[in-house]
Amino acid sequence: MPLKMGSLVDGRYRITARIGHGGMAEVYEANDIIKKQVVAIKLIREDVMANPINLKRFENEATIAASLNHENIMKVYNHGTIDGRPYIANEFIKGQTLKDVLDFRGVFKISEAISIMLQLASALDYAHMHNIVHRDVKPDNIYLLADGTIKLGDFGIAEADGLNRQTTLSNDIVGSVHYLAPEISRGKPATVQSDIYAAGVTFYEIITGHVPFEKDTPINVAVAHIKEKFPPVSKYISDCPKEIEKIISKCTKKYHRDRYSSAKQLFNDLELIKNNQSILKREKRNIFARIFGFK
C-alpha cells in the first residue's frame, strides 16, 4: 500500500509527495518535523520484500550507508519500519543521476568530468578507509546537483569489512555487468580495485557517451571485460588528452594488481590534471581545431 499524503511516519516524517517508484522501492518527499528539514523516505515495495535477498540488500543499504558521513555520499539519517516494511530516511537530493544527464544532454566536457571524478574518488577513498566496498559504481548511482556537487548513492550491495573478510551477501555475482571488473565475473570477491575499475568505466562513459563493450547479451559483455582489450577513449574522442587516457587505462587494467592501489592515488592523478591548466586549454583548442580544421 502506498503512503498517504499528510501521514506521519514514526511520529517524525510528514509525507508531502510521492516522487519515485523504482525496482526496489517507492520514494516519497517528507518533512522531518523534528529537525525541520526535507528528507526522502525510501520504502521497500511489498512484492520485492517477499524475496529475502532483496530484503537483506535493502537493510544492508540502511546500515552501511548510515555509517558514512562524507560530502559526496548520500546521507542516511534514519531507518526503521512502516507496518512491517523497512524504510530509509535519506538526504533529499535535488538533482539527476549522471545517466539521466547523459541521456538528456550528451557527454560531459573533460573539465566537468574531472570535477566529477575527483569527487567520486574522494567518496570511494572515504568508504574504502571505512572498510566498505561499494560494488555498484556507475552513472545511475551517482547524483549531480545544480552546483556541480556529486553524491554517490545506492549501497544496497555494498560489502562492509570487505577489505578484511571479503564476504558477500550471497554466492551470486552482483553488480551491473557493464561496470564489473574481470575478477568479479570470474567469481572472485570484490575489492577496492573492483570499485576503481568501475570508476574508470564511469569516467570513460561520461566523456564518450558509450560503455566500453556494447554487446548483445550480458554474458558477452562480461566475457569482453575478461578477454578483450579495453577500447581507448580515442575510439570516440580523437584528440583526448593522453593524461586522461592514461588514468582510464590504469583504472581498467585486466588484473587488479595493475590498477591504482587506492582511490586516493586516482584522486591525486586527477588533481594533477585539474591543476595543469595547459591540459584544459588544450581541450578548448582541440574543439576549435575540430570545427575550423586547424591545429
Q: Which residues are catalytic?
A: 136
Distance spanning both ends of the chain, measured CA to CA: 62
Task: Name the residue among 176, 179, 174, 175 with its Cα closest to residue 204.
Answer: 179
How does DSSP classify residue 74?
-
Helix, strand, or coil (residue 34): coil
Q: Residues 213, 223: contact at Cβ < 8 Å? A: no
Q: Counting Cβ atoms within 10 Å, is residue 12 exposed (0-12), middle (13-18) or buried (19+)?
A: middle
How does DSSP classify residue 169?
S
Task: Name the residue among 25, 26, 23, 22 with its Cα closest to residue 4.
Answer: 26
Sign of the CA dihedral 21, 41, 44, 191? positive
How does DSSP classify residue 234?
G
Helix, strand, or coil (residue 57): helix
How does DSSP classify residue 219?
H
Q: Residues 144, 97: contact at Cβ < 8 Å? A: yes
Strands (E), the chain: 8-9, 13-21, 25-32, 37-44, 76-82, 85-91, 95-97, 132-133, 142-145, 150-152, 159-160
